[in-house]
Amino acid sequence: MKTAVIVFPGSNCDRDMAVALEQVTGRAPAMVWHRDTALPDGIGMVAVPGGFSYGDYLRAGAMAARSPIMAAVAAAAGKGMPVLGVCNGFQVLTEAGLLPGALMRNGGLNFVCRDVALTVENAQSAFTGRYAAGERVSFPVAHHDGNFVADAETLDRIEGEGRVAFRYAEPVNGSARAIAGVLNDAGNVLGMMPHPERRIEPAHGGTDGRRLFEGLLETIGA
Amino acid sequence: MKLRIHVTLKPGVLDPQGKAIEHALAGLGFAGVNGARVGKLIELDVAEGTADADIDAMCRQLLANTVIENYRVEKA
């Protein structure tokens, strides 16, 4: 499968994401600059990586969400292409309106950088098919603005529709209902603060993240 | 034309920064601070005659995230 990683000024997990995608798909992803207006032909999946795009100016992800390439990403997502946003990528996808809610300053105000325990809430999605529902996994987090916020009605809806992919199994950042990763209504866009691309090989301290990419590859049959 | 755009958190949205400021003021000995919320002030210099609808669109599309924030436009 051909994949693409979007690169913004200030992205800093784009290479981690590229290595993860190359290991799992067997080919290096296209690195797509934010000023581009189209995705390369034949792409089967888009990743929006972590980092501090535009220095988090205005709001985390706000500037990146309005950059030229995001119109192409939104169009691809609208046609069902899987889009994965991790950390700053999650913030970008909420700012772009591709995912509900917003990511605000961590409840404890501190930057949180450590491994956290997560519970897989939805093991049926395009991204989570290689996990078991209720399974406990460990991914690293590294963020200052990971506090997921949405109004009660939105939270009820996304929970009721099974759109919570991952939940924190321990206190991390004050996220509403401990939501760590959320899917769009069609299930083809996933945003999450924890970093699956940093748990790909045993040298990373675990391989829990690898199954997310493997599951996605399997789902889209590439 | 000078504009001042006030961006504030919607009521009910928790504001950890505001809470920290509230506690810090109490720590400095100021009694009776019942709340603190942090917003943004964005000053814009736009062409004379810029339509209100365009100013509103600037706020909605970029300057405020209406999921969590309200905005108010003040013409100087």
Query: Is A153 a residue whose pLDDT tops 80?
Result: yes
Q: pLDDT class for A142, splitting at 50, 70, 90? A: very high
Half-sphere exposure of A170 (CA within 13 A, CB side): 14
pLDDT in tens, A186-214: 999 999 999 999 999 999 999 999 999 99
State the Cα–Cα distance between residues A131 and A121, nearest whole angstrom. 10
pLDDT in tens, A7-32: 999 999 999 999 999 999 999 999 99
Count of other CB atoms within 10 angstroms of residue B26:
12
Chain B residues with CB-CB distance to A109 below 8 A: 16-17, 20
Cross-chain residue pair A58–B13, CB shorter than 8 Å: no
Q: Which amino acid is at A192?
A: M
Question: Which stretches within chain A are classed as H helix?
Answer: 14-25, 62-65, 69-78, 88-95, 152-160, 210-219
Count of other CB atoms within 10 angstroms of residue A171:
12
Mean pLDDT for all residues in chain B: 95
ipTM, 2 decimals?
A: 0.87
Chain A residues with CB-CB distance to B63 below 8 A: 58
Query: Is A222 a residue whose pLDDT tops 60?
Result: no
Count of other CB atoms within 10 angstroms of residue A56:
18
Size of interface A-B (CB pairs under 8 A): 37
The first and second tokens of residue A22, run together, are 């190359």
CATH among 3.40.50.300, 3.10.20.30, 3.40.640.10, 3.40.50.880 for A2-219: 3.40.50.880
H helix or E strand, kind and range, residue B45 = strand B40-45
pLDDT on residue A220: 80
Domain ranges of chain B: 2-75
Cross-chain residue pair B14–A109, CB shorter than 8 Å: no
State the Cα–Cα distance between residues B34 and B21, nearest whole angstrom. 11
pLDDT in tens, A70-109: 999 999 999 999 999 999 999 999 999 999 999 999 999 9
Query: Is B11 a residue whose pLDDT tops 60?
Result: yes
Q: Which residue of B has its CA nearest to A145?
A: B16
Q: Is A195 a catalytic residue?
A: yes
State the Cα–Cα distance between residues A96 and A84, nearest whole angstrom. 13
Which of these is catalytic: A13, A87, A121, A143? A87
Minimum-distance CB partner of B65 among A95, A100, A174: A95
The residues near A29 (Cβ < 8 Å, ≥ 6 apart) are A2, A3, A4, A5, A17, A18, A21, A22, A47
Cross-chain residue pair B16–A58, CB shorter than 8 Å: no
Q: What separation in angstroms does the CA of A46 have from each of A92, A191, A219?
A: 13, 12, 15
Cross-chain residue pair B67–A106, CB shorter than 8 Å: no
pLDDT on residue A50: 97
pLDDT on residue A51: 97
State the Cα–Cα distance between residues A21 and A23, nearest whole angstrom. 5
CATH among 3.30.1280.10, 3.30.390.30, 3.30.420.40, 3.40.50.920 for B2-75: 3.30.1280.10
Half-sphere exposure of B32 (CA within 13 A, CB side): 0
Q: Which amino acid is at A220?
A: I
Mean pLDDT of B12-33: 93
Chain A residues with CB-CB distance to B68 below 8 A: 102, 104, 149
State the Cα–Cα distance between residues A101 and A10, nearest whole angstrom. 23
Domain ranges of chain A: 2-219
